[in-house]
Structure 1
Amino acid sequence: MNKQEIGTFLLRVMLGISFFLHGLSKFKGGLENTSGWFQSIGIPGFMAYVVGMIELVGGIALIIGLGTRIISALLVFIMAGAIVYVKFPAGFMGNGEGSGYELDLVLMIIALHLVLNGSRFLSIDSKLPKLKKTQDSEMIAS
Structure 2
Amino acid sequence: MSRQEIGAFILRVILGVIFFVHGLDKFQAGIGNTVGFFDSIGIPGFFAYIVATIELVGGIAMVIGFGTNIVAYLFAIILLGALLTVKLSAGFLGGYEFDLALLGMSIHIVLSNSTGPSLDNSIFSKNQDKLLKVS
The answer to whether the superposition gives a TM-score over 0.5 is yes
| Superimposed CA distance per residue, residues 11-59 of structure 1 (whole angstroms, 9 cap, x where no aligned partner) | 0000000000000000001111100110001111000000000000000
Change (3 A) 1:68 1:36: same
1:32-47 map, 5 Å: 32-47=32-47
Structure 2 unaligned runs (5+)? Answer: none
Match of 1:122 among 117, 123, 129: 117
> Secondary structure in 1 aligned to 2:66?
coil
> Secondary structure in 1 aligned to 2:42?
coil
Cα distance in 2 for residues equivalent to 1:21 and 1:57: 10
Cα distance in 2 for residues equivalent to 1:72 and 1:129: 18
Q: Do residues 106 (structure 1) and 97 (structure 2) align?
A: no
Among the aligned pairs, what percent are the same residue?
52
Aligned length: 128
Cα distance in 1 for residues equivalent to 2:57 and 2:82: 19
User: Once superposed, what is the RMSD of the aligned Cα atoms?
Assistant: 1.5
Structure 1 unaligned runs (5+)? Answer: 94-98, 136-142
CA contact (8 A) 2:109 2:115 kept: no
CA contact (8 A) 2:16 2:59 kept: yes
CA contact (8 A) 1:68 1:118 kept: no
More helix by proportion, 1 or 2?
A: 2
Which fold has the larger relative contact order, with Cα–Cα distance below 8 Å and residues 6 or more apart in sequence? 2
Cα distance in 1 for residues equivalent to 2:44 and 2:74: 17
